[in-house]
């Protein structure tokens, strides 16, 4: 979707303002929000892509107003309700529905240390060869899907060169909508800054994006 979260190249957002000696969390609720997202995510009801898409669906003005962890909290509540883990009545009352079964947590304290370093691979074997080769010119297709996509607007329609093949990766555009992983070949594509931004950009600079095969066409 052409949402405000897709902000590469926008103007007017102000200075960066890095904070010296920034703490990992600025308040305990931020830490709890992060941990709740990870622990509830371990229930396996949604993918990382669906998680991202929940935050993308926050209305634009709210998205810009909210702090990072407010977005994570809002997205988590959306997913809990949409996947049926929690009902609206429960969110409103703050308590489980009378007679509701009590689940067993998917992530228990003794599982945290062994599971975190294992991570999760998003690479999937593919039995078809990649359509594009390193060094080949490709164009990022002009698409405007109303759902989740990882092709930023600023690159659409631009021509780049395949720099590296990452192998088959889960396709976010379908996975975010619970429509399957549909893995595709993933490419690192180099776009010259002038191709993306025009002649005012520095001649040698380039932006690299990881793009799935269906985002690309020969150029």
Region 98-157 residues binding another protein, contact defined as CB under 8 A: 100, 102-109, 111-113, 116-123, 150-152, 154
* Residue the block writes with tokens 């095969």: 213
Q: How far is the CB of 152 from another protein (least distance, A)?
A: 6
Range 169-208, binding another protein (CB under 8 A): 169-170, 172, 186, 188, 193, 196-197, 201-208
Residues 6+ apart with CB under 8 A from 27: none
Using an 8 Å Cβ cutoff, are 143 and 156 in contact?
A: yes
Residues 6+ apart with CB under 8 A from 167: 123, 126, 185, 186
32, 138, 213 from 141: Cα distances, Å? 40, 9, 10
H helices present in 155-197, as ranges: 172-175, 193-197
Give the other-Cβ count within 10 Å of 10's Cβ: 10
* Of 144 and 210, CB closest to another protein: 210
* Of 136 and 194, CB closest to another protein: 194
Q: How far is the CB of 138 from another protein (least distance, A)?
A: 15
Site membership for another protein, residue 159 (CB under 8 A): no
Q: How many residues bind another protein (CB under 8 A)?
A: 104
Range 25-84, binding another protein (CB under 8 A): 25-29, 31-36, 38-40, 43, 48, 52, 55-57, 64, 67-70, 73-74, 76-78, 80
Strand partners, 212: 186
* Of 82 and 217, CB closest to another protein: 82
């Amino acid at each position: 979707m052409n949402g405000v979260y897709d902000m590469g190249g926008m103007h007017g957002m102000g200075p960066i303002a890095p904070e010296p000696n920034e703490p990992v969390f600025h308040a305990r609720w931020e830490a709890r929000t992060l941990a709740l997202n990870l622990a509830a995510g371990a229930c396996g009801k949604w993918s990382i892509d669906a998680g991202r898409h929940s935050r993308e669906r926050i209305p634009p003005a709210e998205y810009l107003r909210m702090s990072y962890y407010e977005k994570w909290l809002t997205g988590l509540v959306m997913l809990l309700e949409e996947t049926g883990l929690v009902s609206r009545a429960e969110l409103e009352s703050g308590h489980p529905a009378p007679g509701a079964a009590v689940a067993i947590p998917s992530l228990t304290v003794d599982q945290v240390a062994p599971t975190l370093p294992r991570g999760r691979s998003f690479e999937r074997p593919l039995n078809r060869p990649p359509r594009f080769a390193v060094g080949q010119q490709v164009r990022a297709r002009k698409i405007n899907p109303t759902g989740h996509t990882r092709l930023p607007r600023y690159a659409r329609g631009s021509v780049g060169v395949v720099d590296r093949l990452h192998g088959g990766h889960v396709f976010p555009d379908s996975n975010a909508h619970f429509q399957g992983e549909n893995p595709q070949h993933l490419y690192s594509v180099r776009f010259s800054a002038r191709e993306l931004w025009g002649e005012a950009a520095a001649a040698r600079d380039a932006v690299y994006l990881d793009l799935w095969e269906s985002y690309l066409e020969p150029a």
